[in-house]
Amino acid sequence: MKYLKNGEAPQGRLLKAVLFSGLLYLAFSHAAGVVIHAERIGWSYEAVVTHYLGSEEAFKNPVSFQGLLEITHMHMFSMGIAILLAGHLAAALPISMTAKYLLVFLPIASGLTDALSGWLIVYVSERFAYLKIASLTLFEVSFALLLIAAFLSLKVTKTARRQAGNPRVTSKNIIPPLPEK
């Protein structure tokens, strides 16, 4: 991260392009996830309960233990990697530590609660559908904010490099000269 912030690495532009591309993929994936949830499950209490517990009228089977396990596994892995990347970049923003903690830990907490709430609906009570809706909504909003912060951090590091008087990095200004004998 210090290489991005200070512009000391010769591959700084390439690294920023890779990070920007990764964030762009995450943003599209995030948007697609919202649309998939809206189409497949819906945002109402009844729709969430029907998805997890099934419905004879709609000829819908309940979600199985194996189905819950697969969904939890996939989401924990992908959300963990996404939060790792976006959170690492957002940490470079010149904002308060409290704001940084909120940016990172809201998606973590709401994502874990979202994953857990599906299990609670199936094995404890259908009333946990409200928790599912609230935690998923909080995750979607907080992760979108984290992505925006990560994109902004790429811009901030470029500005910080210019202010430090290092507008362009070349191998000549990062490799120290050999000492004279």
Integer Cα distance of 77 and 81 in angstroms: 6
Task: List Cβ neighbours of 162 (8 Å cut-off, separation of 6 or more).
Answer: none
At residue 145, the pLDDT reads: 95
- pLDDT (tens digit per residue) in 3-22: 555 555 556 788 888 889 99
At residue 181, the pLDDT reads: 61
Name the residue with tokens 């029907």.
50
Integer Cα distance of 22 and 24 in angstroms: 5
Backbone angles phi, psi at 89, to 5 degrees: -70, -40
64 three-state secondary structure: coil
Low-confidence ranges of the chain (pLDDT < 50): 169-174
At residue 3, the pLDDT reads: 52
Task: Flag whether the pTM goes above 0.85.
Answer: no
